[in-house]
Structure 1
Amino acid sequence: MIAAMALFSVEDAFVKGATDTLPVGQVLILFGLGGALAFALMARLSGERLVTRDVASRPMRIRVVFEIVGRLFYVLALALIPLSAATVILQATPIVVVATAALLFREKVGWRRWIAIATGMGGVLVILRPGTEGFSMLSILAVIGMLGFAGRDLASRAAPLSLGTAVLGFYGFLAIVAAGAIFSIWDGAGLVRPGLWAWAFVAGAVASGVLAYSCLMKAMRTGDVSAVTPFRYVRLLFGLALGVGLFGETIDFWTWIGSGMILLSGLFVMWRTRPQKRMPPQPQGPA
């Protein structure tokens, strides 16, 4: 999960760079096609079939819808608001995932973690500051994207176990192509011939995105969701560092406060989810 978050932050930086010279819809289409091709090759090498009955299962259909929503609105957020701001808002994803996992998958979440979840959500509100001059309606794009990603992660958890990471990745990136096509039709911006730097940004986004996606799917399908999800908070550190270091963004006081609330609540949830099971007694051998 930590590796996935680092790579997703790098992917965000490449995507933001690509949207400087290419329409958002075209970036999504190129990015999705590159990722789908990569996962199709991975599936072929591992002997996985891309077309099976399980691909059309209800969790997979739900997953595609959430993938389209998450990718489309988050890329729009990356194009229109600072990378650091989009990354911070995205940190509400673990809160939604843990809370929903407790309700849908009956994973045990005690009252202390519920308080931590509420604290983390409060941190997001501190960053957004609704009703004040510091609030931007464009931030809602990142919020909608966050909800889409949370739904995608939970649907991945419910997806048939017969579907491997390569198959999930292939259809996930096809959903990104669909999101780009839908937005391109709605936006009417048309297609632009990519320059050398645009191709480099897209290629970098595909490479980092494929690796990140593989790590994420492995993490979400192994162990309890509430155990691996708190590690998503490390994306906060990577995103802030890239936003400040690469794009020269500044982070105000309230963003630091809200980020601290999110990080501390995430660390507390992670601490409360540590393994509690005791090892069974081991037979004593000769000294």
Structure 2
Amino acid sequence: MDNIRGSIWMVLAMLGFAIEDTLLKTATISVPVGQTLMLFGIGGTFGFLLLTWRRGERAFTPEALKATLYTRAIFEITGRLFFLLSLALNTLSSTSAILQATPITVTLGAAVLFGERVNWQRWLAILIGFIGVLMIIQPSSESFQVTSILAIIGMIGFAGRDLATRAAPPALSNMQLGVYGFAVLIPTGAAYSFWSGGFVWPDLFSGLVIAAGTLVGIGAYYSLTVAMRTGLVSVVTPFRYSRLLFGLLLGFLIFDETADAMTLAGSAIIVLSGLYILAGHSRLKAQASKGLRERA
């Protein structure tokens, strides 16, 4: 039963993130990217501050000054800024598809940086997954969009953030990390706004869209936290890929986007490669647990 509940929470989280992407993309039509990022950061920081205080935790602790958190902040800024730029300049469907390579990139980074065991089959799956990314961006074709590179940089930023989160002090809760993650977006958005041409006064619709995107994003983050703490991770995690389906659907319904055959094929390859890597990781954990029990 926990696995079912965890899977439902994960699907709800991915639906929330897809809606957040849609709302922020809509906002950037009339509000500059930097300003949208800044307002999103203000709303997210305030929201996670309330959640942190509700849990009886302090928002800022000495652990927040660890070097790992600075590294995490750099990757958070990179991921959020370039992903939002891709949303503004590229299609929602293509950006969502490229983002699905994040778990594959995390596996690669964990092997290189943390020395995690990766057998040749998983290395092959990583390579095939990145081939799927190339199929989506089609660098050698006339349909190649330079803006797709923004999505790739954003995806790498999110992968680096996830890796840095693994190394973050265990004493910090997910809510506290949420505060820090959104807080760094405020000066980043402000600086990018000054660099790219300044601020505009958002109209009522744009303001409401950014506010709605922030609220939905906070809800999605909370749902993701509940999902990862409910049921088996190996059962719940694959439902992350439902975000791609929601992204394709919302891109079609809201922005009249249509994904070509190469994008769909590349997306399928990324998802299948990611699922294979997750399955292999689960098998390794099960074998390790079995070995520990036998030695005990």
TM-score by shorter chain over 0.5: yes
Closer/same/farther in 2, CA of residues 64 and 217 from structure 1, 3 Å limit: farther
Distance in 2, matches of 1:216 and 1:154, equals: 17
Match of 1:272 in 2: 280
Q: Does 1:126 align with 2:132?
A: no
Q: Does 1:20 align with 2:24?
A: no
Match of 2:192 in 1: 183
Match of 2:5 in 1: none
Distance in 2, matches of 1:257 and 1:23, equals: 33
- Structure 1 residue aligned with 2:170, among 161, 175, 179? 161
CA contact (8 A) 2:234 2:282 kept: no
Distance in 1, matches of 2:194 and 2:15, equals: 32
Deviations 1:109-150 (A, max 9, x none): 322222111111100001111122111111111111111111
Q: How many residues align?
A: 280
Can you give the 5+ residue segments of structure 1 that lack an aligned partner in the other structure?
282-287
CA contact (8 A) 1:98 1:225 kept: no
- Structure 1 residue aligned with 2:208, among 185, 200, 221? 200
Superposed, which structure 2 residues align to 1:235-274 within 5 Å? 235-274=243-282
Closer/same/farther in 2, CA of residues 32 and 78 from structure 1, 3 Å limit: same
CA contact (8 A) 1:107 1:226 kept: no
Deviations 1:144-189 (A, max 9, x none): 111111111111111111111121111100112122112111102x
CA contact (8 A) 1:101 1:226 kept: no
CA contact (8 A) 1:169 1:214 kept: no
Which deviates more from structure 2 when the two are superposed, residues 1-10 or residues 94-103?
1-10
Q: Does 1:210 align with 2:218?
A: yes
TM-score (norm 1): 0.89
Which deviates more from structure 2 when the two are superposed, residues 141-150 or residues 191-200?
191-200
Question: Cα distance, 1:271 vs. partner?
Answer: 2.8
Can you give the 5+ residue segments of structure 2 that lack an aligned partner in the other structure?
1-9
Deviations 1:84-108 (A, max 9, x none): 0111111221111011122333333
- Structure 2 residue aligned with 1:150, among 144, 147, 159? 159
Distance in 2, matches of 1:119 and 1:79, equals: 28
Question: Cα distance, 1:269 vs. partner?
Answer: 2.1
Match of 2:115 in 1: 106
Question: Cα distance, 1:69 vs. partner?
Answer: 0.9
Question: Cα distance, 1:218 vs. partner?
Answer: 6.5
Distance in 2, matches of 1:58 and 1:263, equals: 33
Q: Does 1:53 align with 2:62?
A: yes
CA contact (8 A) 1:101 1:225 kept: no
Question: Cα distance, 1:228 vs. partner?
Answer: 6.9
Distance in 1, matches of 2:279 and 2:105, equals: 18
SS at match of 2:184: helix
Which deviates more from structure 2 when the two are superposed, residues 29-38 or residues 266-275?
266-275
| Aligned residue identity for 2:50 | L
Q: Does 1:69 align with 2:51?
A: no
CA contact (8 A) 1:122 1:258 kept: yes
SS at match of 1:133: coil
CA contact (8 A) 1:98 1:229 kept: no
Distance in 2, matches of 1:34 and 1:230, equals: 29
Match of 1:285 in 2: none
Query: What is the RMSD computed on CA atoms of the aligned residues?
Result: 2.5
Closer/same/farther in 2, CA of residues 241 and 7 from structure 1, 3 Å limit: same
| Aligned residue identity for 1:257 | A
CA contact (8 A) 1:71 1:179 kept: no
- Structure 2 residue aligned with 1:96, among 88, 105, 111? 105
